[in-house]
């Protein structure tokens, strides 16, 4: 068998795997959409797909990813966006999250973001060894601290009061101006007397 035929077979196998992963991801999002619409009693805009023998086969083989989206419901959009992205990736568990998954979460919650925020933050979290990347998906690093669910405000008694910035009154500013004028006038007079 020639090298070309082997490479074609390998590529076909990779594409089949990618298609299966996309079908799994689609099933997870459809499941999440169903959950979200049932909470708000809103009818989904996407018509449910008719089950075919092939889709039943793929959905039964890959049933775990459909439940992966369920873990996203508890995520609150409080705190920093870096923490939020880390929580989204952690919620996807062993399935991992793609940048597209994170983007769809932000879009669904209508969270404003800059153009490259998701990619930059994912790269930052990988550099900090809080996430790792494999095959275009991001996974929570083993042993990395899991992001906090929600920030609990500190009790009022333990919060140290920050000192307030001093502000000068108009009269104080006037005194400073007059003193500077006198100082510079004295310096000019001294320079003139010295012959400079």
How far is 155 from 173, CA to CA, in rounded Å? 39
Cβ(117)–Cβ(156) below 8 Å: no
**pLDDT tens-place string over residues 12-28:** 888 888 888 888 888 88
How far lies 152's CA from each of 75, 130, 149, in Å? 15, 22, 9
pLDDT at 62: 38
- As a whole number, mean pLDDT of residues 81-100 equals 83
- Its CATH architecture, for the domain 74-158, is Orthogonal Bundle (1.10)
How far is 146 from 143, CA to CA, in rounded Å? 9
Write a three-state SS string for 45-93: CCCCCCCCHHHHHHHHHCCHHHHHHHHHCCCCCCCCHHHHHHHHHHHCH
Domain spans in the chain, listed from the N-terminal domain onward: 1-69, 74-158, 165-194
CB within 8 A of 137, min separation 6: which ones?
95, 96, 97, 98
**pLDDT tens-place string over residues 108-155:** 888 888 878 888 888 888 888 888 888 888 888 776 555 555 555 566
Q: 32-46, 55-69, 122-136, 178-192 — which is least confidently predicted?
A: 55-69
CB within 8 A of 157, min separation 6: which ones?
none
Kindly compute the dihedral angle of the four CA atoms of residues 128, 131, 132, 138, in this order, to the nearest 10 degrees. Answer: -140
pLDDT at 69: 45
């Amino acid at each position: 068998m020639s090298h070309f035929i082997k490479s074609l077979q390998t590529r076909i196998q990779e594409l089949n795997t990618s298609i299966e992963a996309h079908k799994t991801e689609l099933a997870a999002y459809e499941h999440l959409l169903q959950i979200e619409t049932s909470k708000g009693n809103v009818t989904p805009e996407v018509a449910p797909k008719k089950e075919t023998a092939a889709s039943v086969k793929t959905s039964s083989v890959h049933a775990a990813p459909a439940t992966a989206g369920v873990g996203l419901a508890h995520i609150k959009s409080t705190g920093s966006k870096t923490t939020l992205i880390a929580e989204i990736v952690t919620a996807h568990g062993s399935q991992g999250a793609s940048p597209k998954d994170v983007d769809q979460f932000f879009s669904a919650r209508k969270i404003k973001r800059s153009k490259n925020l998701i990619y930059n933050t994912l790269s930052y979290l990988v550099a900090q060894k809080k996430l790792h990347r494999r095959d275009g998906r991001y996974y929570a690093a083993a042993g990395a601290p899991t992001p906090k669910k929600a920030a609990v405000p500190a009790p009022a008694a333990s919060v140290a009061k920050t000192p307030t910035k001093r502000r000068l009154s108009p009269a104080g500013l006037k005194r400073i101006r007059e003193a500077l004028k006198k100082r510079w006038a004295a310096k000019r007079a001294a320079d003139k007397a010295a012959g400079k």
